[in-house]
Structure 1
Amino acid sequence: MITAEGLSKRYGPKTAVDDVSFTVRPGTVTGFLGPNGAGKSTTMRMIVGLDRPSTGRVTVNGQEYRGLRAPLTEVGVLLDAKAVHTGRTARNHLRAMAATHGIPASRVDEVIEITGIGSVARKRAGGFSLGMGQRLGIAAALLGDPHTLILDEPVNGLDPEGVLWVRNFVRHAASEGRTVLLSSHLMSEMAQTADHIIVLGRGRVLADAPLSQLVEQWTTAQVRVRSPRAVELGELLVAAGAVVQGSGHDTIDVTGPEAWWIGDLAAERGIALHELTPTSGSLEDAYLALTGDAVEYRTRAVPEAGTPIPEVVA
Structure 2
Amino acid sequence: MITAEGLSKRYGDKLAVDDVSFTVRAGSVTGFLGPNGAGKSTTMRMIVGLDRPTAGRVTVDGKEYGKLGAPLTEAGVLLDAKAVHTGRSARNHLRVMAATHGIPASRVDEVIDITGIGSVARKRAGGFSLGMGQRLGIAAALLGDPHTLILDEPVNGLDPEGVRWVRQFVRHAASEGRTVLLSSHLMSEMAQTADHVIVLGRGKVLADAALPDLVRAWTTERVHVRTPRPAELASAVAGRDVEVAAVGADILDITGLPASRIGDLAFERGIPLHELTPTSGSLEDAYLALTGEAVEYRTRAVPQDGARLEEAHA
TM-score normalised according to structure 2 size: 0.96
Q: Give the Cα separation in 2 of the matches to 1:291 and 1:302.
A: 21
Report the counterpart of residue 172 of structure 2 in structure 1: 172
Alignment-mate amino acid for residue 147 of structure 2: H
Do the aligned partners of 2:236 and 2:266 also contact (CA within 8 Å) in 1?
no
Percent pairwise identity: 81
1:271 equivalent to 2:268? Answer no
Alignment-mate amino acid for residue 22 of structure 1: F
How far apart are 1:239 and its partner, in Å?
A: 4.8
Structure 1 vs Structure 2 CA RMSD: 1.1
Q: Secondary structure at the match of 1:298?
A: strand
The 1:236/1:154 distance shift into structure 2, 3 A limit, reads same
Q: Give the Cα separation in 2 of the matches to 1:276 and 1:84.
A: 54
Q: How many residues align?
A: 308
Do the aligned partners of 2:26 and 2:177 also contact (CA within 8 Å) in 1?
yes
1:252 equivalent to 2:249? Answer no
Q: Deviations over 1:137-181 (max 9, x none)?
A: 000000000000000000000000000000000000000000000
Unmatched tracts of structure 1, length 5 or more: none
Q: Give the Cα separation in 1 of the matches to 2:207 and 2:6.
A: 15
Q: Give the Cα separation in 1 of the matches to 2:240 and 2:24.
A: 45
Q: Secondary structure at the match of 2:209?
A: strand
Q: Deviations over 1:229-286 (max 9, x none)?
A: 1221112112576210011111100011111111111111111111111111111111
Q: Deviations over 1:90-127 (max 9, x none)?
A: 00000000000000000000000000000000000001
Report the counterpart of residue 305 of structure 2 in structure 1: 308
Report the counterpart of residue 226 of structure 1 in structure 2: 226
How far apart are 1:308 and its partner, in Å?
A: 2.5
Report the counterpart of residue 140 of structure 1 in structure 2: 140
Alignment-mate amino acid for residue 139 of structure 2: A
Q: Give the Cα separation in 1 of the matches to 2:34 and 2:74.
A: 26
Do the aligned partners of 1:231 and 1:250 also contact (CA within 8 Å) in 2?
no
Q: Give the Cα separation in 2 of the matches to 1:241 and 1:154.
A: 42
Q: Give the Cα separation in 2 of the matches to 1:261 and 1:288.
A: 29
Report the counterpart of residue 66 of structure 1 in structure 2: 66
Q: Secondary structure at the match of 2:93?
A: helix
Alignment-mate amino acid for residue 289 of structure 2: A
Q: Give the Cα separation in 2 of the matches to 1:309 and 1:280.
A: 32
1:119 equivalent to 2:116? Answer no
Report the counterpart of residue 109 of structure 1 in structure 2: 109
How far apart are 1:309 and its partner, in Å?
A: 4.4
Report the counterpart of residue 49 of structure 1 in structure 2: 49
Moved more, 294-303 or 215-224: 294-303
TM-score normalised according to structure 1 size: 0.96
The 1:67/1:293 distance shift into structure 2, 3 A limit, reads same
1:15 equivalent to 2:22? Answer no
How far apart are 1:292 and its partner, in Å?
A: 0.8
Q: Give the Cα separation in 2 of the matches to 1:274 and 1:118.
A: 53
How far apart are 1:310 and its partner, in Å?
A: 6.0
Report the counterpart of residue 81 of structure 2 in structure 1: 81
The 1:240/1:32 distance shift into structure 2, 3 A limit, reads closer
Unmatched tracts of structure 2, length 5 or more: 309-314
The 1:110/1:241 distance shift into structure 2, 3 A limit, reads closer
Q: Secondary structure at the match of 2:238?
A: helix
Q: Secondary structure at the match of 2:231?
A: helix
Alignment-mate amino acid for residue 305 of structure 2: P
